[in-house]
Amino acid sequence: MDPSVVPALALTLIAVPGPDPAFVPAAGVRERSAVPAVAGLLVGYGAHLVVAGGVGPLVERVVESPATAEVVG
């Protein structure tokens, strides 16, 4: 992929909403509170930040990690 395309692609992915804006109100109507839905989304975002921050490559270096991830996941 041409590196000059990456910023435009990233901005497009940021600008187009995913399913989260629809999930939170639906959970709020169904369960009378959107707090658990928002908390779950924040935990997911946090996990993505941790992996993007360098835990992914660190785990990849350990030989047992792929097998452990396969069993746990």
Domain membership of residue 5 (yes or no) is no
Q: Structurally, how many domains does the chain consist of?
A: 1
How far is C-alpha 23 from the chain's CA centre? Answer: 15
| CB neighbours of residue 58 within 10 Å | 11
Domain membership of residue 65 (yes or no) is yes
Give me the helix-helix angle, 35-50 and 20-31, nearest 10°: 150
Domain membership of residue 45 (yes or no) is yes
Domain membership of residue 2 (yes or no) is no
**pLDDT for position 5:** 83
DSSP classification of residue 19: S
Helix (H, G, I), strand (E, B) or coil at 18: coil
| Structure-block tokens of residue 70 | 């396969």
**pLDDT for position 33:** 86
Confidence of residue 1 (pLDDT cuts 50, 70, 90): low
Confidence of residue 2 (pLDDT cuts 50, 70, 90): confident
**pLDDT for position 39:** 92
Domain membership of residue 48 (yes or no) is yes
Domain extent at residue 25: 16-72
Domain membership of residue 35 (yes or no) is yes
Domain membership of residue 40 (yes or no) is yes
Domain membership of residue 4 (yes or no) is no
Give the model confidence (pLDDT) of 20-67 as tens digits.
888 888 888 888 888 998 899 899 888 888 777 777 777 777 767 677
Give the torsion through C-alpha atoms of 57, 61, 62, 66, to 10 deg.
70
